[in-house]
Chain A
Amino acid sequence: AQSVSQHNHHVILSEAASLELGCNYSYGGTVNLFWYVQYPGQHLQLLLKYFSGDPLVKGIKGFEAEFIKSKFSFNLRKPSVQWSDTAEYFCAVNARSSNTGKLIFGQGTTLQVKP
């Protein structure tokens, strides 16, 4: 069965610090990869996605992620975080062969940015 693991459950950073959130998945076939963000009191929004092509993908608000197929990883990065980045971040995977659009989510990482 597919699974997604996010290594950091709670991250605390100061403004302007760099961010990297880890995401690993277990599935041997072709996958689509996503990062979603949930700001306090709001619903999930898509940050970025990878379907194919350049493994370095750029999303909204200065976020980027790199797909490393050999490591089954899709880590999220941002060079300089802001207080407004305080949120919960979810990595999600879809097995392309399933043809159902089903997303499997990681446990989530809570990011707290101190001003």
Chain B
Amino acid sequence: NAGVTQTPKFQVLKTGQSMTLQCAQDMNHEYMSWYRQDPGMGLRLIHYSVGAGITDQGEVPNGYNVSRSTTEDFPLRLLSAAPSQTSVYFCASSRDRISYEQYFGPGTRLTVT
């Protein structure tokens, strides 16, 4: 199993550009989520999904969209990038809401200039 994969690893955007961060898992996990990691602030939940077709907002959803059309994929879309979205983004998945043990991807380092 590849586990949780994320692409790209690095990305530089200009203010106002849009892009999609890809996340995929091959463990048939029901639950997937996106976090951003900023120095001194730990990880903050952006959006999460408890199954295909079901998504909900986390702590810091503004400026981001998600969808979950399949169990495997959970892309994160930045609609109009802003410098405040410069961060490291992690995707995570877990078997279900009950197990709560989340497996993290390698991260995407995004810089918005």
Choice from A9, A46, A92 contacting B40 with Cβ under 8 Å: A9
**In the bound complex, do residue A101 and residue B97 qualify as a contact, i.e. CB atoms below 8 Å apart?**
yes
* A25 contacts partner chain B, Cβ-Cβ < 8 Å: no
Assess whether B74 is interfacial by the CB under 8 Å rule: no
Tell me which residues across on chain B come within 8 A of A4, comparing CB atoms.
Answer: 42
Which residues of A sit under 8 angstroms from B31, Cβ to Cβ? 101
Cα A101 to Cα B103 in complex, Å, equals: 12
Complex contacts, B105 vs chain A, CB 8 Å: 43
Interface residues contributed by chain A, number (CB under 8 Å): 26
A79-115 CB contact bits vs B (8 Å, 1 = yes)?
0000000000010101000011111111110000000
What's the nearest-Cβ distance from chain A to residue B109, in Å? Answer: 11
Q: Determine whether the beta carbon of B90 is less than 8 Å from that of A100.
A: no
Q: Is B56 on the interface with A (CB-CB < 8 A)?
A: yes
Number of residue pairs A-B, CB distance < 8 angstroms: 62
Which interface class (under 10, 10 to 19, 20 to 34, 35 or more) fits B?
Answer: 20 to 34
Contact status of A105 and B42, CB under 8 A, knowing A99-B97, A100-B48:
yes
Closest chain-A Cβ to B50's Cβ sits at a distance in Å of 6
20 more A-B residue pairs beyond the given contacts A102-B48, A107-B40, with a C-beta to C-beta distance below 8 A: A6-B42, A32-B100, A34-B101, A36-B104, A43-B90, A43-B104, A43-B105, A43-B106, A44-B92, A44-B104, A46-B102, A92-B43, A101-B33, A101-B48, A101-B97, A102-B33, A102-B58, A103-B45, A103-B102, A107-B42
Spell out B's residues near A (CB within 8 Å).
31, 33, 35, 40-45, 48, 50, 56, 58-59, 90, 92, 94, 96-97, 100-102, 104-107
